[in-house]
Amino acid sequence: MRLPESGSLLATLASGLGRSIADGEGVAVDGVAEAELATALSALSRGEIEYVILEDEHEFVQAAGEGAGPYALQFNPAGGTGLQDVPGGVSEAAMREALLAYRRGDTGWRRSFEWVQL
């Protein structure tokens, strides 16, 4: 999981995990558990952090927004096809469901949305 380098959640999450690395592109948290992801998504919803990115080798999914939404939801699949976006964004519930499904390795989460290539 990648989070912004600033935000009130960051110190709490990073100190509790003991597995975070600041690399100039945010803070990378290795081996994030579902509960940790849920905590980060709640912080995103409250406006405490600007985005959440989940990475898996050569692909990633990212979300940004706050409150009830809409949330920007973007996916960059492995294979070099480029960044894809859900036009108009998604609700908070849809964003949470998508990122949690991605975290679990459920590949069906993408079928819930219409994607456009950026």
- What pLDDT is stored for residue 30 in this prediction? 72
- What pLDDT is stored for residue 104 in this prediction? 94
- What pLDDT is stored for residue 80 in this prediction? 75
Taking each helix axis from N to C end, the angle separating 92-104 and 34-46, rounded to the nearest 10 degrees, works out to 160
- What pLDDT is stored for residue 74 in this prediction? 97
- What pLDDT is stored for residue 100 in this prediction? 96
- What pLDDT is stored for residue 18 in this prediction? 47
Mean pLDDT by 10 residues, the chain (118 residues): 62 50 59 88 90 90 93 91 94 96 93 94
- What pLDDT is stored for residue 25 in this prediction? 58
Domain extent, residue 46, equals 2-117
- Domain count along the chain: 1
